Structure 1
Amino acid sequence: MWIPAIDLSNGQSVRLYQGDFDQKTLINADPLTQAQAIEQAGLTALHLVDLDGAKAGNPQNLAVIKQLVAQTNLAIELGGGIRSLEQIRQFLELGISRVIIGSAAIKQPEMVQQAVAEFGAAKVVVGVDGRHEMVATHGWLDTATVSMAELIDQMVGYGVRHFIVTDIDRDGTMQGPNVALLVKLQQQFSTAEIIASGGIRSIADLQDLRTHGIQSAVIGKALAAGGMTLAELKAVN
């Protein structure tokens, strides 16, 4: 599935360049309007990230998140600052379709294991963000000493089946996804779903990913910058 993305900061929809909070571009002052346009285009899912939450370590844009759940029928996957079972439980009860666990997968791997056991693998996604194949954490401000492959291997052992893989150096750059990395990870972990994120420019990039065995991706800046339209995204979904 090709999933449009909204990144939240200070209650607004924004995009960062290579994860840099100092290189922030406003996309839409009203994220609800943006989400409703996605739904009206016939798309059914939304990738939602609380950027402030990722940086702070706990959700910061809760009012907007609640609004998007209440006023759209989109299946929303949410990430950013989710670091406890109780937060996961609250978001799922709120109506979030599945949660994305990022930094906590490094810092609290047992929590991910418990989440899969309690809520099921369909409700839990692990976000694997990195540079040069090494994992970055805490809103991409820190680099861990664990490789992306090592983290995925550990999480697969805990029952995780869905991984959003972001090459930070490609994110927001419109330079194309890191196909080689994505394919390598998908081939290494054949029972998992590797979801591409970062650098996607056009429908041609999505077709290239599909040709190489990557069936899902998150699309952000390409939609905002005009590299593709919601109608085109709907057509290839």
Structure 2
Amino acid sequence: MKSILLGLLLVFITFTASAQSDSSAHASEFRVYFGGAFPKGDFQSSDFEDTYTPFAVSGPLMQVSYARSVGRNLYGGATLGLRINPMDLDKFADDNDELVLSKQSRSWQSVFTLADAAYRFNLTDGYFFVKGSAGAAFNHSAALHVETTYGTIDQAADKATAFAYGVATGMFMNLDKLELGFETGILSTRPEFKYTDTQGRSTNYKLSMTTINLGIFGAFRF
């Protein structure tokens, strides 16, 4: 997967260097995207036997992108995104558990900076597209604070930066200089966090933070 994405980015760089100066080769757009991010794999685990269980559930994904034509139907650009996935505290500690006095948490968060390469297939009033992305994610692990009759479970958030990649596909409709559409895809990163247990022992662990995403976007072309 990483090799495919890096190949797409090399194609983007090559076409940028050789793009012609006519107006059709320099169409640009800004895009605003909002949707949901649904955890998959290890990121959605609620197994207490894991070294550290994420208990991640679905949350919002927001992105702002810039794209520019660099060849016939080929676009290159960049994306800045924020993904937030809360913890499922009901699975961690049931509301009916008399041993639990209070519970609160801070969500998993990732800020993405990605380079994009996309290919568009012309439709009657719009486009179908496929896109590959690669870059970095600046991640925060979830924080947890639970008061019980036997003591406090307290886990502070940690920070970690890691390689990130994604693939996506979607369709959009042209409305003069405006575009409306939807996009679905996968976004993944695998940072290394530090986990400290109730005895104060620290362990480093890597977590694949992968989500399947679905959302809508609006774009302005110029």
Give the TM bin, normalised by the shorter chain: under 0.3
Q: Which has the higher helix share?
A: 1
TM score, norm. by length of structure 1: 0.23
Larger radius of gyration: 2
Could you say which structure has the greater relative contact order, defined with CA pairs below 8 angstroms and 6 or more residues apart?
Answer: 2
